Structure 1
């Protein structure tokens, strides 16, 4: 059913909020009794109070996860049992997809049109994907000397800590939880304080789906307290994270200082988009470039925010790109007609706006560059296109995490590749060309976990997603993500 703006407003008004963590399958209060006011960035209104957990709450959650894991009710359950529970969880998410969509939209400002049609149903589908994948994994019997047999099996790691970013709260939690659970682990999730509600609902539905209590725990609060405690905990066997490169580096230190826990880190990005003059359709390239840089308010780790265009088509591309950017005009996130929503907070919008002002001073703003007030909130920024800035300017080098992109001309293929690889990041890249030879040649040299040819930011359930360099290591999505949450065990039996 297609919902109108008024329908979504009414549904949001009927939504219940509970900011308490989920530990051992139950809602509990944080030990401190303290809470954090959660503001809807699109209106400035306080919508709930998130419980501010501390190290003691993390201890409780880890203990609950460890006990549930050691009981074997999940870790040693048959593959068929885990499969059915994850598929049931997928069904429950689908049944309540509008609630999930509203939680993420109200928490972090994304358009409900996207959270209801992409994020929530996509998350449900991913639990189903990993549920089905469980029974399709194979153990090995390698060749050994006569009189012996070796079994090579993949075993769960134990208790997995998960730290989730706020830009895709439900989806990113799912990218970690689905394979971690499929592999047989127990999990403790630290959701973003900016957007905790969808993960809390997910933990409740996990119990309803028949996943044993204590297998999925959610501890709310600030990253400087809860995230640090989780990364430093000696009884957490592995930590999965999506967020900034700066925090990823801190987590590496905490892991090393504690129990040398394993890490899978999806960190920052500053993705490039190379437009060659032999591109088959420049208008399509411009439309996709607008999507790649402005979708989700530009709050995307793999956003193609650095666009390099061959000089002979540069002026025409910029004209087309400016036109395409109009489709992403900001508006009320609950209005299905809005191009983009609010940034996650006015404070974050202040940071993005400061970057725009610097670019205005040092270069040229050819589109956008305004900050409208909508619903009384200043968390909205119009998609902004910057040109005429040097290659070492911060709009080229810093992950802005907002609707800001820079366009720069190049003269040779070698120059374009140098520009694309000239950052400490290596998460994603795109290129547009009508030459198959160039597509192979350039994509091979781009240092990026995913290279999209004649599209942008391509991903799917069957392909791994992650980065090189300071964009982190480990992979989300695909069956390869199961490798983050399990490892090989060799059982050698000697008969003679």
Structure 2
């Protein structure tokens, strides 16, 4: 891999600017004031303390997202072509700042810099691909009896909760966000507590790209608190989760006992191996 972002060089000791929650286009402290540490896996040293979101913060984020989804709100009234322009702008910013984001990913996640750049490149490609999809979400006209016309019109699902895994933090942030945003939804995103830092950087990207307040909200925290609040929330219309099968069961159950929200699960346990009796395990 040569040229483009792969020619960028890592930044030693990158600055960690964002450790707060991102709600309604503002970085804010958690309601409880609690924090948690994120650790450099290479040295086992604490990188920084991150604000810990919980149900009260999810409620605030949902209120902001619901306001962004009102029919007279800028995001709902926006021309799909303009949504596509914003998606392309996000891709441009990620490409410009790839070394900075990837360097923080290395620090927080432990993966090699070139591997982190691959993640950045995937995010760029996805935002550019879905930018072209924004104005191609089309309905159908239906044959009816004389004097009548029927048609279908696709509407956004509404507020989407997204919960991402530790192993591809920024790449999964991009994937969860872009699919929802291109269709005109608002998102509450909970990054993994082990590797939250690059996801929190997306708040600055959202503001610079021109996403209206409330469209993207980021709540770092833990699964049993922030994650559960997202899964159980009656005003969240869909949850997209990548992680363990065990947690997938919990989220599916929470959907059924709350508002029967739509659920998309990408779970583990799909890559079983058969080991021969004669295999050298030494």
**TM-score, with length taken from structure 1:** 0.53
Structure 1 distance, partners of 2:43, 2:191, is 22
Aligned-partner Cα distance in 2 for 1:249–1:160: 18
Q: Which residues in structure 2 correspond to 1:346-425 (within 5 Å)? A: 364-366=280-282
Corresponding residue of 2:91: 90
Aligned to 1:192: 192
Structure 1 residues 247-274: Cα deviation after superposition (integer angstroms, max 9, x where no partner): 01001111111111110111113325xx
TM-fit CA distance, 1:134: 1.3
Give me the CA root mean square deviation: 2.0
Matched, 1:54 2:50: no
- 2:78 is matched with 77
User: 3-state SS of the aligned residue for 2:160?
Assistant: strand
Deviations 1:287-328 (A, max 9, x none): xxxxxxxxxxxxxxxxxxx2578xxxx98xx7xxxxxxxxxx
SS class of match (2:12)? helix
Partner of 1:225: 225
- Give the aligned partner of residue 65 of structure 1: 65
Q: What secondary structure does 1:33 align onto?
A: coil
Conservation of the 8 A alpha-carbon contact between 1:50 and 1:193 = no
Corresponding residue for 1:263? 263
CA distance in 2, matches of 1:58, 1:169: 20
The secondary structure found in structure 1 opposite 2:143 is coil
**Any conservation in 2 of the 1:231–1:251 contact (CA below 8 Å)?**
yes
List structure 1 runs of 4+ shifted beyond 4 angstroms: 1-4
- Separation in 2, partners of 1:110, 1:90: 22
Per-residue Cα deviation, 1:148-196 (whole angstroms, up to 9, x for no partner) = 2111121101111100111111111211110100000011000001111
Can you list the C-alpha shifts for 1:17-69, whole angstroms capped at 9, x where unaligned? 42101000000001111111111001111111111112111111110111111
| Number of residue equivalences | 277
CA contact (8 A) 1:65 1:188 kept: yes
Shift of 1:3: 7.1
| d(CA) in 2 for partners of 1:128, 1:103 | 23
- For the residues of structure 2 that align with 1:232 and 1:123, how far apart are their CA atoms? 29
Deviation at 1:112, TM superposition (A): 1.3
- Paired residue for 1:101? 102
Instruction: Please state whether the residue corresponding to 2:75 is helix, strand or coil.
Output: coil
> Is the Cα–Cα contact under 8 Å of residues 67 and 73 in structure 2 kept in the other structure?
no
Aligned to 1:161, the other structure's residue is in SS state strand
Aligned residue for 1:100, secondary structure, equals helix
Q: Is the 8 A contact 1:65 1:214 kept in 2?
A: yes
Partner of 1:179: 179
Aligned-pair distance for 1:229? 0.4
CA drift at 1:103: 2.1
Alignment of 1:191-210 (within 5 A): 191-210=191-210
Matched, 1:16 2:19: no
Residue in structure 2 matched with residue 330 of structure 1 by the alignment = none
Distance 2:94 2:171 in 1: 12
Match of 2:45 in 1: 45
| Distance of 1:63 and 1:247 partners within structure 2 | 25
User: Cα offset for 1:146?
Assistant: 2.2
Separation in structure 2 between the aligned mates of residue 3 and residue 43 of structure 1, nearest angstrom: 27
| C-alpha separation in 2, matches of 1:216 and 1:100 | 18
Q: 1:258 to 1:96 in 2, by over 3 A?
A: same
- CA distance in 2: counterparts of 1:202 and 1:63, whole angstroms: 20
- Give the deviation of 1:122 after TM superposition: 1.3
Q: What is the CA-CA distance between 1:99 and the residue it aligns to?
A: 1.8
Distance 1:233 1:144, change over 3 A: same
Hey, what does 1:385 align to over in structure 2? none
8 Å contact from structure 2 (residues 189, 218) kept in 1? yes
CA distance in 1, matches of 2:274, 2:105: 29
Asked if the contact 1:76–1:184 (Cα under 8 Å) also holds between the matched residues in 2, the reply is no
Q: Flag structure 2 segments of 5+ consecutive residues without an equivalent.
A: none
Partner Cα distance (1:34, 1:206) in 2: 25
Please tell me whether residue 140 in structure 1 is matched to residue 140 in structure 2.
yes
C-alpha distance in 2 between matches for 1:149 and 1:164? 43
